[in-house]
């Protein structure tokens, strides 16, 4: 009755009555229809069972997979998804969900039967000692392929050549696979997302040229790939992506000659991660044209120079240059950075350089939330006062040679972390500390502070 009440059209009512009659007359009929129209395809079911056979499932991850009658519909198995019109399996998502629960064994090529598979995620599987599942290069309907950290071995060269319609490829964290070449990228012209981080690409000396051949690439993750910038691309870059927004090349052996190549992506780059490489020389000019950058990480290199090339980066929110060879006066460095970067910067990390001089009025960076100037050679004093109220949440000035007293910090009213230990501060601690009601961490040890700390210093520091 309920069903009939909701069905407004006569046609539906008619169909319902016919179905009810059929159900009464032939109880097997309905489930038969269901099996054909909505259930899974028998051939694919067999293929999945075969796939399960070759796996070692110590944790019962595939307990819903089986040949028993009540488990007939493989579209309802854990990790399997089907097209609800054709019944073909289109998704297989068996990524590791728990650190200590995973699938192991062998990835059976019976998956080749699943020719309609568009999403395959085996990320984090423990297929130790087995070869890379090369046959996956024949699943031409794949749109998402995630085989990250699957603990396989073997040699990969052009077995993935035919995945020319694949937009998303993650093969990261497979350090034991020998990437003989990544030339297959030149045929993966649908790629938008590529992650090969943690793979050993030391033999792929033409990686820049290959990346230039992927015309719609948006995200390129190549950290910890043992990459060097030895051979600059010889071909013209006419096909290189106009939409590459994210490049991560951190933890490689890349030298400054790579800047020329990166300049090809100046107009689109938003996030650029180059930390822990072999970048040397001056940062002046290299980034001047990358006006869309939001995050730039150059930490742990050997760069020199100043911040003047960042002046007109009106979108730059995060700038990391820690652990480089910046020298000179901090106040001069900040002077060089005048321009709209003053209002866009939110995080500035200059820790571990050789900057000296005093700390200028940092509140000129009106959006700054985190400033790290620790482990430099700052040898002047703090400003007597800050000119305007600031958003600063974290200020690290520790391990310098700052002199003078801990002055009025009332304007830094959002501070949660103030690290100023291991300097040469002396004099009394200003009671203005007590106005930092958001403060959670205060390190002032290793100085020569004097006087009496009283309740007035602490009464508002409830956090």
Ligand X SMILES: *[C@@H]1O[C@H](CO)[C@@H](O)[C@H](O)[C@H]1NC(C)=O
| DSSP codes of every residue in 409-420 | -TT-TT-SEEE-
| Contact residue for ligand X among 203, 291, 438, 460 (CB under 6 A) | 203
Q: Any contact of residue 268 with ligand X (CB under 6 A)?
A: no
232 in contact with ligand X (CB under 6 A): yes
Residue pair 316/341 in contact by the 8 Å Cβ criterion: yes
Identify which range of 65-73, 261-269, 311-319, 406-414 contacts ligand X by CB under 6 A: 261-269
Helix axes 10-25, 27-37, angle to 10 degrees: 120
Q: Which of 259, 167, 270, 160 is nearest to 217 (CA)?
A: 167
Q: Which of 49, 288, 314, 461 binds ligand X (CB under 6 A)?
A: 288
Q: Which residues pair with 417 in a beta bridge?
A: 394, 441
Give phi and psi for 71, each to the nearest 5. -105, 20
Segment lying near ligand X (by CB under 6 A), choices 53-61, 236-244, 245-253, 366-374: 236-244
Q: Shortest distance, CB of residue 170 to ligand X, whole angstroms? A: 6
Q: Is 158 in the site for ligand X (CB under 6 A)?
A: yes
Contact between 280 and ligand X per CB under 6 A? yes
Please, what is the minimum distance in Å from the beta carbon of residue 453 to ligand X? 9
Q: Is 160 exposed, middle or buried (0-12, 13-18, 19+ CB in 10 A)?
A: buried
**Secondary structure element (H or E) that encloses residue 21, with its range:** helix 10-25
Tell which one of 106, 356, 364, 416 touches ligand X (CB under 6 A). 356
CA 144 to chain centre: 17
Could you give the CA distance from residue 24 to residue 29 in angstroms, rounded to a whole number? 10
In angstroms, the CA 58 to CA 209 distance is: 44
Distance CA 390, CA 427 (A): 25
Q: Does the protein bind ligand X through residue 235 (CB under 6 A)?
A: yes
Which of 49, 71, 73, 144 binds ligand X (CB under 6 A)? It is 144
DSSP for 31-71 reads HHHHHHHTS--HHHHHHHHHHHHTEE-TT-TTTT--SSGGG
Taking CB under 6 A as the rule, does residue 161 contact ligand X?
yes
> In the structure encoding, which two tokens stand for residue 32, read together?
């038969």
Position 246 contacts ligand X (CB under 6 A): no
Alpha-carbon distance 27 to 31, whole Å? 8
CA dihedral 110, 115, 119, 124 (to 10 degrees): 20
**Segment 433-462, which members bind ligand X (CB under 6 A)?**
451-452
Q: Which one of 227-235, 314-322, 441-449, 455-463 is the stretch in contact with ligand X (CB under 6 A)? A: 227-235
Provide the minimum distance between the beta carbon of 91 and ligand X in the complex, in angstroms, as a whole number. 10
Q: What are phi and psi of 282, to 5 degrees?
A: -90, 140
| Cβ 180 to ligand X shortest distance, Å | 9
Site for ligand X in 376-435 (CB under 6 A): 379-380, 428
Least spacing, CB of residue 58 vs ligand X, in Å: 18
239 binds ligand X (CB under 6 A): yes
Three-state secondary-structure class, residue 332: helix
We find the least distance from the C-beta atom of residue 417 to ligand X, in angstroms, to be: 26
Q: Which stretch binds ligand X (CB under 6 A): 40-48, 225-233, 392-400, 441-449?
A: 225-233
Query: Is residue 305 near ligand X by the rule CB under 6 A?
Result: no
Note the residues at the interface with ligand X (CB under 6 A).
84, 95-96, 121, 123-124, 137-138, 144, 146, 158-159, 161-162, 168, 200, 202-203, 213, 226, 232-233, 235-239, 260-261, 263-264, 280, 285, 288-289, 302, 325, 356, 379-380, 428, 451-452
């Amino acid at each position: 009755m309920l069903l009939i009440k909701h069905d407004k059209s006569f046609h539906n009512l008619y169909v319902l009555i016919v179905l009810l009659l059929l159900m009464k007359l032939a109880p097997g009929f309905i489930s038969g229809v269901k099996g054909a129209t909505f259930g899974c395809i028998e051939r694919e079911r067999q293929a999945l069972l075969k796939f399960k056979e070759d796996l070692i499932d110590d944790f019962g991850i595939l307990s819903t997979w089986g040949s028993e009658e009540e488990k007939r519909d493989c579209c309802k198995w854990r990790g399997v998804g089907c097209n609800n019109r054709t019944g073909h399996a289109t998704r297989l998502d068996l990524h590791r969900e728990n650190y200590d629960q995973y699938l192991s064994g062998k990835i059976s090529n019976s998956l080749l039967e699943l020719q309609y598979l568009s999403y395959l995620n085996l990320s984090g599987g423990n297929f130790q000692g087995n070869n890379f599942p090369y046959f996956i290069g024949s699943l031409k309907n794949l749109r998402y392929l995630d085989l990250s950290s699957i603990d396989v071995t073997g040699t990969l060269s052009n077995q993935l050549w035919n995945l020319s319609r694949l937009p998303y490829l993650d093969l990261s964290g497979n350090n034991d696979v020998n990437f003989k070449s990544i030339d297959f990228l030149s045929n993966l012209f649908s790629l938008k997302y590529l992650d090969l981080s943690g793979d050993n690409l030391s033999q792929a000396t033409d990686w820049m040229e290959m990346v230039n051949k992927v015309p719609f690439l948006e995200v390129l993750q190549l950290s910890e790939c043992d990459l060097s910038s030895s051979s600059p691309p010889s071909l013209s870059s006419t096909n290189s992506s106009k939409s590459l927004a994210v490049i991560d090349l951190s933890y490689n052996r890349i030298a400054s000659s790579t800047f020329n190549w990166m300049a090809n992506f100046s107009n689109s780059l938003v996030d650029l991660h180059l930390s822990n490489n072999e970048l040397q020389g001056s940062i002046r000019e290299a980034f001047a044209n990358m006006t869309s950058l939001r995050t730039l990480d150059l930490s742990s290199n050997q760069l020199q120079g100043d911040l003047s090339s960042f002046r007109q980066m009106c979108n730059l929110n995060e700038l990391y240059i820690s652990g480089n060879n910046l020298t000179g006066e901090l106040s001069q460095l900040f002077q060089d950075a005048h321009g709209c970067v003053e209002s866009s910067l939110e995080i500035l990390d200059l820790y571990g350089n050789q900057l000296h001089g005093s700390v200028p009025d940092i509140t000129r960076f009106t959006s700054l939330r985190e400033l790290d100037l620790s482990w430099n050679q700052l040898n002047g004093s703090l400003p007597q006062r800050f000119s305007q109220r600031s958003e600063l949440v974290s200020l690290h000035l520790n391990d310098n040679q700052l002199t003078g007293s801990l002055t009025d910090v009332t304007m830094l009213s959002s501070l949660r972390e103030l690290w100023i230990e291991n300097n040469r501060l002396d004099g009394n601690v200003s009671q203005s500390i007590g106005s930092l009601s958001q403060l959670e961490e205060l390190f002032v040890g290793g100085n020569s502070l004097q006087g009496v700390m009283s309740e007035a210093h602490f009464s508002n520091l409830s956090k």
